[in-house]
Amino acid sequence: MSYRLLSSNIINTEWSALLKLQNFPNSNHIPNFFLLNRVRCCSNNYNNLEMEDLDPTKLIVINDQRSLDRKISAIRNAGPSKLQVIADFDATLTRYWVNGLRGQSSHGLLKQGNPEYDAKRQALFEYYHPLEFSPAIPLEEKTKLMEEWWGKTHGLLIEGGLTYDAIKSSVANSNIAFRDGVVELFELLEKKDIPVLIFSAGLADIIEEVLRQKVHRYFKNIKIVSNQMVFDDSGRLVSFKGKLIHSLNKNEHALDMATPLHDQTGGIDGAVADNASVKQRTNVLLLGDHTGDLGMSDGLNYENRVSVGFLMTDPCGEWWILQLSCVQSLMVNPILLILVTFIHPIQHLSLG
């Protein structure tokens, strides 16, 4: 639902995290404070870097190389049978910029076919969105505001008579696209039976439709935890199923809500991993773009977790840095790098 406007401060702590920046209109417009913050977060090995040496399209800066190497080595040695991937959807798996314009989210692309209700949802966005990122609002209060925002929005979708045909039309006419390498990543993970949990505060039915229209195939290893719609026999939205998920309450406890992707007819094609077995996979690759995404693995008894954050910009040229509470490394590169440096070596290991 939300467009991420993110703090310009990087926090140095003890976690391994990768921060990524891509799909922006012009890398030459990055202001100096952004590059300086990147240098400050580096370890002693990088303290002598000059700003002009930093290529914002290729740079990888590691704050704690040993810690990151240790985690990646442990995950590789444990093999694919111990690994799971947990990923946010909007602006993580999808591009922040598409054809020179801000990419749409799974909430933002939706047109109900009822201009009055589209306008009402936009008014909610304009009111609540600044509150989502306001540093002056305590987390507990902000969480209640997000519950209020999402609840009102879902109510408008029902009241305004949203249909599944409107979802299909909205996706077909949307400005949304996957990041380079996402499909290849999905294919490799499926080949090695590594489960992918797409955890989104958006709308599950729209995410499924985006996968159908943009990827044109089904992945048996992918499950979605998101706000799931219930339609009547005429295809009209009548309710939402399960717990409301917003940007600040993502956590692994909601794994019981995870559902496999459906095929074009609504059926499930082939066997899927049960949720209990997924919980036994104690190595986690976590992908996100929002501080709330760090909670996606809460409740999971993991041994090693590598978090990958995505840096973004707003269309006005002002740059913001994702404020992860565990930053140890900063990466600027396409998602394909995850294949090369992390996932690809695992595929050559036997299933343990």
According to DSSP, the residues that pair with 14 across neighbouring strands are none
Residue 28's Cβ-count burial label (10 Å; 0-12, 13-18, 19+) is: exposed
Beta-carbon contacts of 328 under 8 Å, excluding residues fewer than 6 positions away, are 12, 13, 14, 15, 16, 17, 62, 63, 64, 67, 68
Q: Which two tokens stand for residue 267?
A: 């059926």
Q: Which of 53, 55, 64, 90 does the annotation list as catalytic? A: 90
Is 269 a residue of the active site? no
Judge whether 88 counts as a catalytic residue: yes
Q: Furthest-apart CA pair in the chain: how many Å?
A: 65
Which one of the listed residues 64, 88, 289, 293 is annotated catalytic? 88
- The set of catalytic residues is 88, 90
